[in-house]
Every structure is written in structure tokens, then in C-alpha cells.
């Protein structure tokens, strides 16, 4: 049996991934490559996929998620109407309606917040945190991207391992994941954290060209740190660089509600402008 199968129904289409990471210890399949033009077609499609998955012995179906958390996943559940930023999940409320009608409910929730940079206060303290004096932060020089990818791969495997629906991938697959966007990366938006010559963290950001050719905001898309407090220090450096470059806002993108990055965003007083969810349906 193939690991993936394409489903289509009127105004909806999706792929059933049979090799998704387990949810709650259950054998799990995932709804990926999700496209939906109307909620009723989407709900009918999801019910068809759920029936197929349950018949094959799966105990849960999750989505939208292209196999695992390395691919696109999540849907929008609430928005202030502002344009989507690059690499943000796209779609409308018909997606959420389709999943709800088909018996799915949120199993993991996320937010994006917007931080005003004018009058930005000093780095807010976090209880029990002691800054590591040996941690060195720098912006990537734009050289040797292949070597950088290898270093990011090593950090990612450790830093992201606790995340739901994470699974390790080899360096070749990791490089393929980043290959399409690497030529477009501006080194001024990539921060590296090193300790004793070893990479212990990184931050990846970019201008929010969803606002047009001269955006007001920059986006912190991903950061990872193996050093306590390193992520917040990188974010703070990014804020100040963005301000110096003329940006008025920074978007803290796609944070899980129970993640430390969400706590840091709260400390700065950033305001939520979009909410998302990964949806799941359990089978008895």
C-alpha cells in the first residue's frame, strides 16, 4: 500500500499521509496538501478520508499537515484581516468549518503576534534566567551556505525534538527543505549563536513582503537555541536591528501557545493578530 493517496471531492482535495508521527501514542495518519473552496465539499472529503483511515487501522487523523511538522501545517482559526506574511498558512474560514463539520477539533494551538518597535524597552527579564556570558551572537556573513545548512541541521534536531509531530530527518532531506528559500535569504535577518566555537542556536527572519515592496514589519519565522535564554537574546537583537533598518513592527510568527517563545512575546507586550490550529479526529 502506498504511503500517500490523493483524494478529491468537488471543491476540495487532499493527500492522505499514512506515515505521520503518532498522536497520543495512537497510529496516526495526516491530511496534507489541503485545498478547499467550500466547506461542505471539504467536510465530505475529510469524512471519506477518515473512514478510509479508520478501516485501515489508524486510530487518529490530523491535519492540515503535509506528513509531519517539517512541511506546511495548521489552519487559520481567527484573524484581524491583515494580509498573510510569507510562509504563513494560507486559507479562509471555510477550512476551519470543513474540519469542524467533519468531527475534528483543535489538538494544538498557535498564534502570531505583532510587536511595535517604537520605544522598545530593554530585554525583559525572565524569572530564574541567568544570561550566559560565553554566548556570542552575530549576523550570518552570507558565505558558505552549504556549511551553514549542516550546522543548522545539527541544532534543529536537538532543539525541535520535543515539539509535537517532530521527527528527525537526515542532512540531505533538511537541505532539500531549505534549498528553495536559501537564495532569497538576506544575511541581515539571520542570527547565529555560538559558544566556544560551536553553534548553539539560530534565528531566521525576513521582511514581510506580504505588505508590499516597502513593508512596515519584519518577521521572526524560526529560532532555536540549545542555551537557556539564547532565543530571547537573539530575538531582542533582531528587534533592534529591524528598528535600525526602519521597520516599525516585528511579527513573532506561528508560536505554539505553550511554548517559551510565546512567553517571551508576552513579556514584550506583543499583540495577537492571528490564531491557528492543528486539527485532529480520534477513532474509537
Grid coordinates in use for 266? Answer: 508576552
Give 171-178's long-range contacts (Cβ < 8 A, gap of 24+).
173/70, 174/149, 175/146, 175/149, 177/70, 178/149, 178/152
pLDDT on residue 126: 60
Instruction: Determine the topology of domain 115-275 in CATH.
Output: Aminopeptidase (3.40.630)
To the nearest 10 degrees (0 to 180), the angle between helices 260-268 and 230-244 is 40
Distances (CA, A) of 225 to 69, 106, 143, 228: 18, 27, 22, 7
Buried b (16+ CB within 10 A) or exposed e, 136-161: ebebbeeeebeebbeebbebbbebee
DSSP conformational letter for 98? H
The sign of the torsion formed by the CA atoms of 116, 122, 123, 124 equals: negative
Q: Exposure of 211 by Cβ count < 10 A (0-12 exposed, 13-18 middle, 19+ buried)?
A: middle
| Rounded distance between C-alpha atoms, residue 23 and residue 147, angstroms | 34
Give the model's pLDDT for residue 266: 83
Domains of the chain, by residue range, sit at 4-109, 115-275
Among candidates 279, 253, 281, 280, which has minimal Cα distance to 89? 253
User: For residue 278, what is the DSSP state?
Assistant: E
Helix (H, G, I), strand (E, B) or coil at 265: helix
Does residue 195 contact residue 136 with C-beta atoms inside 8 Å? yes
pTM: 0.92
CATH of domain 4-109: 3.40.630
Domain 4-109 and domain 115-275, same fold? Reply is: yes
The count of residues in the chain is 284
Give the span between the Cα atoms of 154 and 134, in whole angstroms.
20
List, as one string, the DSSP characters of 168-205: ---HHHHHHHHTTTGGG--GGGEEEEEETTEEEEEEEE
Q: Is 109 exposed, middle or buried (0-12, 13-18, 19+ CB in 10 A)?
A: middle
- Per-residue pLDDT 10s for the chain (284 aa) are 668 999 999 899 999 999 999 999 999 999 999 999 999 999 999 999 999 999 999 999 999 999 999 889 999 999 999 999 999 998 888 999 999 999 999 999 999 999 999 988 777 666 556 667 789 999 999 998 889 999 999 999 999 998 889 999 999 999 988 877 777 789 999 999 999 989 999 999 999 999 999 999 999 999 999 988 899 899 999 999 999 999 999 999 999 988 778 878 887 889 999 999 999 999 98
Amino acid at each position: 500500500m502506498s504511503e500517500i493517496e490523493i483524494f478529491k471531492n468537488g471543491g476540495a482535495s487532499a493527500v492522505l499521509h499514512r506515515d505521520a508521527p503518532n498522536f497520543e501514542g495512537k497510529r496516526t495518519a495526516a491530511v496534507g496538501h489541503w485545498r478547499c473552496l467550500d466547506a461542505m465539499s471539504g467536510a465530505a472529503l475529510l469524512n471519506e478520508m477518515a473512514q478510509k483511515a479508520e478501516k485501515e487501522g489508524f486510530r487518529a487523523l490530523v491535519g492540515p499537515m503535509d506528513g509531519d511538522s517539517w512541511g506546511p501545517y495548521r489552519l487559520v482559526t481567527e484573524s484581524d484581516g491583515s494580509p498573510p506574511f510569507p510562509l504563513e498558512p494560507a486559507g479562509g474560514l471555510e477550512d476551519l468549518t470543513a474540519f469542524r463539520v467533519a468531527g475534528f477539533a483543535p489538538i494544538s494551538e498557535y498564534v502570531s503576534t505583532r510587536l511595535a518597535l517604537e520605544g522598545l524597552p530593554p530585554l525583559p527579564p525572565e524569572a530564574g534566567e541567568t544570561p550566559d556570558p560565553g554566548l556570542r551572537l552575530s549576523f550570518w556573513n552570507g558565505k558558505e551556505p552549504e556549511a551553514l545548512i549542516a550546522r543548522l541541521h545539527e541544532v534543529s534536531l536537538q532543539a525541535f525534538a520535543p515539539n509535537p509531530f517532530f521527527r528527525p530527518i537526515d542532512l540531505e532531506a533538511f537541505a532539500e527543505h531549505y534549498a528553495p528559500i536559501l537564495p532569497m535569504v538576506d544575511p541581515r535577518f539571520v542570527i547565529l549563536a555560538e559558544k566556544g566555537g560551536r553553534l548553539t542556536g539560530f534565528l531566521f527572519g525576513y521582511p514581510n513582503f506580504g505588505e508590499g515592496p516597502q513593508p512596515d514589519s519584519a518577521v521572526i519565522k524560526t529560532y532555536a537555541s540549545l542555551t537557556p535564554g539564547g532565543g530571547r537574546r537573539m530575538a531582542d537583537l533582531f528587534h533592534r536591528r529591524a528598528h535600525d533598518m526602519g521597520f516599525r513592527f516585528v511579527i513573532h510568527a506561528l508560536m505554539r501557545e505553550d511554548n517559551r517563545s510565546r512567553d517571551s512575546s508576552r513579556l514584550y507586550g506583543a499583540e495577537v493578530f492571528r490564531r491557528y490550529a492543528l486539527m485532529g479526529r480520534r477513532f474509537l
